[in-house]
Amino acid sequence: MTYDLLNAFKEYFKDDKVVLDTYKLNDGFYYVIDEDGTFEKLEVLKGESDDYELEKYIKIRDFYSKYLNSNKAIDTTYTEEKNGKKYNMLKKICSNNIYTLFFKNKMVQGLCNKEATKDAVPIEVFKKGIEKYYDSLMKLGDKEKEKILLNEKYKEKEIEENKEKMLKAFSIVYEDLKDKDMPKETWIKIYLKKDIEEYKRVSDIYFKIKLFNTTDNNVKVNENVYGANNYNFGLNSKKPYLELKSTPFKVGSLIDNEEIDIMNKMYIWLYNNGVSSNLVKLPTDWKFHGIPKDDEKIEDKDTYILKVAGNNGVARIDDFRYTSHYNIKIKSFKCKNYLDKEKLITFETENIYELIKYTSNIWFSENENSTRNYIRDAYYDYDLKISKSMLANWKKELLKRYSDVFFELFEEEKPDNFIKQIDNIAVEIVTNMFIDGLKQKKTYIGNARKAFNLWIAYKEYFNKESEEQKMKRNDIYEQCEKIVKEKGKIETDEQYYFLAGQVAYYYLTRSKASKLTQDVTEPIVRARTVEKLKDELKFLFKTYGYDVFLVFPKLGNIYSQLMSQAPEGKVKDYSDMLLAGLLANNLFYNEKEKKEEIKNGGNEDE
């Protein structure tokens, strides 16, 4: 996986520019200290700085000066006991060379202000830690396995000179910030003023050694050094090829010193650009000007699909897929108002991103124009974004159960599982929306109608129905309307289940209550046998229909046939017809009732 990305994009990452173009500074205070003790100061707040030119100067130096992660920090281990309390400097400095000092204000007493923390150490102890930091920089490259990686080591003279400069710089910064009220996670970064080439030189000493997981496994072959890959593996010095259970591969591998540097830049780019994205799609010809957006045209391109997470300040790829000839353009998808005679188109698109957004809004959101994409949120961030959301529990459960099916459909262009599951998914959605609608308002089924129409649109799009089935469904309203008006006979299973839904809905809306409870609405839509369906119709008749049976003979004719006939087809095989009957304009309403229902949002057009 990692090597697939490396082989595809390595030419882009040989140059640092691609990473620097999207590199971001952390929120905090940045100081550039000159030889005479004067300084320039930059504040970054919510990703925005107060000095663009100074930000450019600092950004490139920051890129070369950050440690890889806390496990790769320069050793600053120093302990001291003061007034009965032991203070420790372990991992409190996060930079990597003689010209920089990176730390958080919570590490130093006097900079934490009102939010003092247990990590804070007195200023005198912190300065001892700075001295240990420089001592450790001096030791880089001392190990036998490290020597083969370095072209040069630090010289004792430059270590001592810059240690003194940094101690003075630290005191200057401390005095400037000690009375400032700031959050305890505020970064403070100090840079001694040097040319960028000098920054590159000294940072190279750290990176050449630390880019590999551990130098203990390094081997030199001809002029190249090979070591253990440090990315997307759970590695340590005792178990250099420990399997990471969240990844699809089983073993680690060796990589040479040139490619590990390129890989590091690639993972920095992914961290800066991909961690906040639900999904990252990278066509193989991508030029790395940020992450492709949903309106980015990806037409007939081989594409990597990634889920990127943050792990200790480093990108981690939690899922990796490759799709050949990926397209955001699809054949025209049309959703019509199938429950209306005119069958007017309510939504149309040739863009896969627009289709997933529409599907998410119609099937899962409470708002048809929502900017949230619950389907995408469910792919990888279910626990964070779905389980804790305000969605109904049945929607959460559906998103959890079918997230892989939706992923394959919308992200990989693999619709087979969705096609197999479409009826199960849609019946559950439409049924629950119908129940929820009547619980909110006795005649409100607008959301369920829209969900039903989207279900049928998908069946048509994937040719899941024969032409004969489509014709029967499209003509069912007119057929049943004729039966009702002319007191005709129910002749097909489609007519039986459609009219069962029509009768059930009419009885339900006879209730005097403004809202219907779940125990009244649920049994009719969840009936699994014809006998159970008939029992529920009898219950509704006894509860709500006794006052209309005698005065409304057309309804009586249909009800009698429903009770006396036994359709051949099972309820589950005609769930679309039963739901269509519940949701379509009701054949038994008089003109006054029709107007009232439209007013209440029941059967209004979409």
- The pLDDT tens digits for 202-235 are 999 999 988 887 777 777 788 788 877 777 654 4
Find the angle CA(348)-CA(349)-CA(351) to the nearest 5 degrees: 165
What pLDDT is recorded for position 78? 94
For 70-114, the pLDDT digits (tens) are 889 999 999 999 888 999 999 999 999 999 999 999 999 999 876
What pLDDT is recorded for position 604? 44
Phi and psi for 191 in degrees, rounded to 5? -125, 125
Quick one: tokens of 468?
């004969």
Give the C-alpha separation, 319 to 307, whole Å. Answer: 5
What pLDDT is recorded for position 287? 86
What pLDDT is recorded for position 596? 64
Q: Are residues 212 and 186 in contact, defined by beta-carbon separation less than 8 angstroms?
A: no
In angstroms, what CA-CA distances link 33 with 99, 152, 166, 175, 204? 10, 26, 9, 14, 22
For 388-444, the pLDDT digits (tens) are 899 999 999 999 999 999 999 999 889 999 999 999 999 999 999 999 999 988 888
Nearest partner of 248 among 355, 161, 322, 160, judged by Cα: 322
Q: Are residues 42 and 173 in contact, defined by beta-carbon separation less than 8 angstroms?
A: no
Give the C-alpha separation, 554 to 565, whole Å. Answer: 17
What pLDDT is recorded for position 548? 64
Quick one: tokens of 156?
């004792």
Q: Per-domain residue ranges for the chain?
A: 2-17+221-326, 23-207, 339-344+402-606
| Alpha carbon distance, N-terminus to C-terminus of the chain | 46
**Mean pLDDT, the chain, integer:** 88
Residues in the chain with pLDDT < 50? 234-251, 604-606
What pLDDT is recorded for position 240? 42
What pLDDT is recorded for position 144? 84
Q: Where are the beta strands (DSSP E) in 128-203?
A: 187-192
329 strand-pairing partners: 351
Give the C-alpha separation, 502 to 492, whole Å. Answer: 15
Nearest partner of 214 among 234, 197, 195, judged by Cα: 234
Give the C-alpha separation, 307 to 134, whole Å. Answer: 38
What pLDDT is recorded for position 602? 55
Q: What is the DSSP string of 322-380?
A: EEEEE-SEEEEEEEE-TTSTT--EEEEEEEHHHHHHHHHHHHT-SSTT-S--HHHHHHH
Which residues, in sequence order, are CB contacts of 422 under 8 Å at separation 6+? 455, 458, 459, 462, 464
How much of the chain is in helix, strand and coil states, percent to nearest 5? 50, 15, 35
Q: Is 373 helix (H, G, I), strand (E, B) or coil?
A: coil
Alpha helices in 14-74 (DSSP H): 17-21, 52-65
Nearest partner of 110 among 97, 90, 130, 124, judged by Cα: 124
Task: Record the pTM.
Answer: 0.79
For 263-289, the pLDDT digits (tens) are 899 989 998 888 888 888 999 988 888
What pLDDT is recorded for position 233? 58
Q: Is 28 helix (H, G, I), strand (E, B) or coil?
A: strand
